[in-house]
Amino acid sequence: MTRQKPEVVSTDYVEVPRIVLNNNKELTLCADIMYIQQIPFLITVTRNIKLMTIEALADRKEASILNCLANIRSIYENRGFRVGTLLMDREFIPFEDELRKMGMKPNASSTSEHVPEVERQIRVVKERVRGLYHALPYQVIPKVMMVHLAYYVVGWLNNFPVKGGVSKTLSPRALITGVQLDHNKHCRLEFGEYVQVHEENHPTNSMQPRATGAISLGSTYNLQTG
């Protein structure tokens, strides 16, 4: 378990194609809350760009949901896009005024109706999570692992160009984050794989182990293969 020299961090970001930015300056965001094993998640998807975001919610209170939506808005704004219309379930109606203050134009669905784009993505995510869940060798999965399993699924759905999207060569993640998928960096471990990680906190020259058993929760998609 000799500590290896860290790799040089490459900052080769992908620029948003000018034609994509000009034709999709204002985006329509579809949002809803889904549940996996009683864990609430805020899931969103944008029309045209087709990027999905997902974040576990500590609760369904107004402050938690608005904070998540503010983070999502900033992600798009950092790449030159602007979230215009927000298509949402009727659960979001009580804080429409706050959404308008954030610069969004909220539009709630009718009674007993849902936003079809995000409902379809929720079905896809749950199917993928269910498939991976039953492929894991563990009999008990803690909450933190279930949360990251959902993140893992959405992350891979964002990593490839989407049918009907704005680009046939760039994935939604590359368009919005500027980071391209690198097999050598981001495909080293599967979700749930058992690994040995370097243990930092040990006395010098002691007989304490230099490695700790751990379970991979997926790539962080940072620039240094974390």
CATH of the domain at 81: 3.30.420.10
Residue 88, pLDDT > 70, answer yes
Judge whether 112 lies within some domain.
Answer: yes
Q: Does the structure show a pLDDT above 80 at 5? A: no
**Does 221 fall in a domain?**
yes
Does 109 lie in the same domain as 31? yes
Is 1 in contact with 195 (CB distance < 8 Å)? no
Please give the Cα distance from 136 to 18 (Å, whole number): 43
Residue 205 confidence (pLDDT): 72
> What is the total count of domains within the chain?
2
**pLDDT above 80 for 199:** no
User: Could you tell me what percent of the chain has a pLDDT over 70?
Assistant: 92
Residues 196 and 169 in one domain: no
What does pLDDT average to over the chain?
Answer: 88
Q: Is 95 a domain residue?
A: yes
Same domain for 32 and 122? yes
Do 30 and 95 fall within a single domain?
A: yes
What confidence tens digit (pLDDT) does each residue in 165-184 have? 898 889 999 999 888 887 88
Provide, rounded to the nearest whole percent, the portion of the chain with pLDDT above 90: 57
The per-residue b/e assignment along 95-128, b for 16 or more CB within 10 angstroms, e otherwise, is: bbebbeeeebebebbeeeebbebbbebbeebeeb
Predicted pLDDT of residue 27: 94
Residues 32 and 93 in one domain: yes
Residues 110 and 192 in one domain: no
pLDDT digits (tens, 9 = 90+) for 122-159: 999 999 999 999 999 999 899 999 999 999 999 999 99
How much is the pLDDT for 49?
Answer: 93
Residues 211 and 168 placed together within one structural domain of the fold: no
Domain that holds residue 148: 18-179
pLDDT band with cut points at 50, 70 and 90 for residue 187: confident
Please indicate, yes or no, if residue 5 is contained in any of the structural domains.
no
- Position 2 in a domain: no
Whether residue 197 is found in the same domain as residue 121:
no
For residue 9, name the pLDDT band (cuts at 50, 70, 90). low
Residue 65 predicted with pLDDT over 90: yes
Cβ atoms 183, 156 nearer than 8 A? no
Token code pair at residue 199: 């243990």
- The verdict on pTM exceeding 0.85 is yes
In a domain, 9, yes or no: no
Residues 46 and 100 in one domain: yes
